[in-house]
Structure 1
């Protein structure tokens, strides 16, 4: 067993190491994918930002143009301006007033021949410099002039036609300084690293705000600003739709890469807004995320390793506890077998002696021996019940029973104890006299006996013990009844201080009076756990020197013949003269078992160990033995191995013969092992007619 635990421990440790490495690799790969995804998101966000910034800036400028044009239109619609009968000089006077009120730098009028006069009394010709015919047809433009002939300044010129009676009379135009006209507001983006430009289709830089230094030739070479030119294949464009008036390009300038977005200003003569940001600035946030992710991965790896280290330590402790638990189970199984086997012998021999002895005084002492033996057996059963409860191995076994019969069997057990203390015992049963129920009769009986024995123990001589069983509710839909069970006495009672410890295992109140009473201190703990397993609660009311009341209620189905599968009944007469093989190493147990089997009508043959039992079976005729009763713990060969060899033999009846285990250990693990080894059922010592019949009936 110890080598098995060590082997499992090493395997588990290797699995932990492998799992921790695997999780670390997966985490690193996940973070790498995450960083790649974040970088792509940041780049895409940069594209969107640049494109939206260029479009937003061009739209803003376009709105300013439109505002200027609307002002020009409203001026051109003034009759004094559009009427050809009014002289240019008079019109200029009127326009000077509009300049002051509308914020223009200057306004001018051009006749159909292109001759211009302005509000500042300048005259020149523009016929060969503008799209004159297009303007005359009503097309409104914004023009860029690199150097103003008048002020030697970069200006924009906005134009609208002047019409009178639906006939074009000339052109009204205004000029505005480029530097005063634009609000390049994107400087704050990317921590001041976004540059904004106003450029022409010829690559002229008209206005700028930022540190992106690109020349006219570089602009024309690297960015497509003309509709009839194709994109350079070396440029990674975010949008390659040539019909778009805006796009994104990745270009290299002065040994540094930039993301550049540009957008055409509508209703202008090929004017563009351009925004640029260094690629390294776009990815700088990604690098920060990379650093943060690296730190995060390191922390996660450390936590994972720490987790597995803790799990490893916990597993080591768990394996130690499991080893101790296995040792405990082995100890309990062995001690159960070692104590119950001779005790079963004592009970069995006492029972036989009572039958053959005619001396009344001897029988009196035999009864005392039997009573004390059963008391000792009860204490052992309590210890084993505790082990089952701790392992959560409580099983509810429902069967047909009657509460009247249950009370009768309880009374037989407690009668002598009550008479010995000259106590008054009263049983009240209400509403259950003619009802058969379907529940775990054995556990209900065990609970009530424990509570009654407890009351008898802690009640003075001539005291009073009451048992009440009463139906207090009924569920017509589910055909159930709620049964109240109550055990009361006028004994020594329980102090308030001890009530909190009342249901602890091995608990007994530490006072001079209670020390006079024997017992394991397990009864109430077992009662509470059994009642909890049946979905109820044990309630206690008690006062010192006044007595105690223990009560609980159970919802129990009413037995219905047509709905409940009835257990197969066994014809006892059919068992007579059947041959059985009893494999038992203990001589006393063999004597007792033979006595019980022969009393039931069986013909018994014996073997003292598993090896001898196999030999007797193989040497017998086919179907000679109807049953084999096999003790589990025996020298030379135990019952498990003997059963396996019988099942694996080539005899025709090796698979059909019924094999019933005999064990002094009532642990559920043994039941599983019994079935696994090939046995059909099992009985727990001491052997009696009742448990033999129960076992055979279940086959």
Structure 2
């Protein structure tokens, strides 16, 4: 009888927990939904009112518009030619699908999330205007951009004393926004809800149910078992093509739940065995709670350290760039001094690019988005380029850099030569950085073994630096780790290089290890399995000096499509000394029009930016290839893109481009492109 009563009470408790939780989460969901709707309506009304006011104002100059709308912030004019202008007349670049639509067909305010170049992410509201011409240019609409933090303050929040949370999730399950302080983040650390549940063995039927709700932006409730805990997940749409997901653990209950628990505990008192089990579980709960508290504290400390570290590593070269440029401007009457300041600014800019690239690479590796290429390459050329790249820094520091051994029975392999070079450059530059003047850094490469068509390549980077302690080597490959922090030492760096090496080597199915003794230097060993291939010997290319390049460029006309005016001016100035004639276009559509209007053979090459208003570079390349122009199928089109990853290059080639240059542009890379295509 006692057992039956216990089972009945326990069943009632579970039912009470479930019902009260569902009711509470529904109430919170309704509240968040109403607040988001009210916030959206507020900005829609504000944008619509401003658009109507402008349409009936008879304003004809930008100064009149600025005076009329001075009480509003974040207001921009959407011009009929696709530009977006601030009330001060400055053009901005906004990534957003609705900005390419025909506003004259709209009957109401449209909104979406977008990115304003150089400013960040915003919630944008656009409304059409009629019969408005400002400074002689027709105006199609009015745009109000609202800091996305306003949206985040409503949509994401910790609930139930921080044990649960609400998240903003896209239709594919990707977590777009999460509260900074919530114990729920411990369970949902990765970037995708669906992947988290699937990887933790959640019932596939429940995962499919949640996936359908997210894809269709509909309300849904699912109960899932995650790491031994039961979670209620409530979804509802936010009217912006996104979803809000409430995630609440079973351990959170309200007053009725606690009352039911006391009844269950009272029944369990009469059962000695159950009482012992309850005591054990209670102690385990307290220990787990204490551990979670410590983990959250450590996580908060790590976050603070990360922000401090990255702020230092980014602001340090920025300070050098700004300071050196200021000194160069003051030294215009002293060319040698100005040259020194500009060289320092260039080196600081190159270092800043390295820091940012490391951060982006680490993020892609953590999120599983890093894609490797599998192309033929010459390993000897990779090794030669690593030595050539690091010889300068080594000589400048007074460190001897040499190859100790290169023993390869084959030269040609298939793999990602860029990532292999990145790993070796990180290891060698790290060794040079920490090796004192007069020290030695050596690189060894040998074919350790063969298994069929696969060779196991052994690479060793050895230095005579200060070495590392055993305790530090245990966390050596973790992000942002250095034996001495760059905040207190002369060795600067992002602290991401070795973590990137470790992740890339694992991605290539290899292994990396370190052997080090304090005071005796360090040795990093990398094993990489690479597929051997046999290629015919390539004929050596004829050397071309600067005069050959000038002769090659003489009389050639290049079309530069770049929406950023400053970037256009810089690229034109960089190419001016080569004798190339430059035509410019401010968007993809203008570039297509200029190519189609040109005579056969007029343009020798097109430099095409990817992200542009009106028509992107990818769309423009496809349009040129599909045109009836005599050069449409053969005109070399080279992408200019901030995307530096393999998938970015493949995307450019897939849309009809022949080559891909990464921003910030390197003049040597441009010269190579000119030689490659002007020689045809």
Task: Please state which band the TM-score falls in when normalised by the shorter chain.
Answer: 0.3 to 0.5
TM-score, length-normalised on structure 1? 0.45
Q: Which has the larger radius of gyration?
A: 1
Structure number with higher relative contact order (C-alpha < 8 Å, ≥ 6 residues apart): 1
TM-score, length-normalised on structure 2? 0.46
